[in-house]
């Protein structure tokens, strides 16, 4: 005896369809409204989850790049400051 699928199972099937790059329009339950809606809802939920994680990853990358630039600028500033501290007096004396 075969067990009937619940709405949640059609929802999960829709999520899996998205993950397997199956188009939302390739819904095999088009003639069964409740199943089709549950599957499409799962597909769209998976799409939103994917887009949200992609957005978070993009923001994280922007922060990492900005941090690297800032770190580089700080390092350059330190090198210039140390150079001025060690060689600044020598330059002033050479000019006079």
Convert the pLDDT of each residue in 20-42 to its tens digit.
999 999 999 988 889 999 999 99
Contacts 24+ apart (CB under 8 A), 30-39: 34/7, 35/5, 35/7, 35/10, 38/7, 38/8, 38/10, 38/11, 38/14, 39/10, 39/11, 39/13, 39/14
Q: Which of 3, 15, 23, 4 is nearest to 41 (CA)?
A: 15
The three-class DSSP label of residue 34 is helix
Q: What's the confidence (pLDDT) of residue 21?
A: 94
The residue assigned the tokens 């397997």 is 20
- pTM higher than the cut 0.75: no
pLDDT of 39: 93
User: Domain ranges in the chain?
Assistant: 7-95
């Amino acid at each position: 005896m075969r067990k009937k699928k619940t709405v949640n199972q059609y929802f999960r099937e829709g999520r899996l369809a998205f993950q397997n790059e199956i188009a939302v329009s390739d819904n095999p339950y088009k003639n069964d409204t409740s199943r089709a809606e549950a599957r499409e809802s799962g597909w769209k939920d998976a799409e939103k989850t994917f887009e949200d994680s992609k957005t978070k990853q993009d923001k994280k990358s922007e922060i990492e790049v900005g941090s690297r630039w800032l770190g580089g600028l700080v390092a350059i500033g330190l090198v210039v400051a140390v150079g001025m501290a060690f060689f600044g007096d020598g330059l002033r004396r050479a000019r006079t």
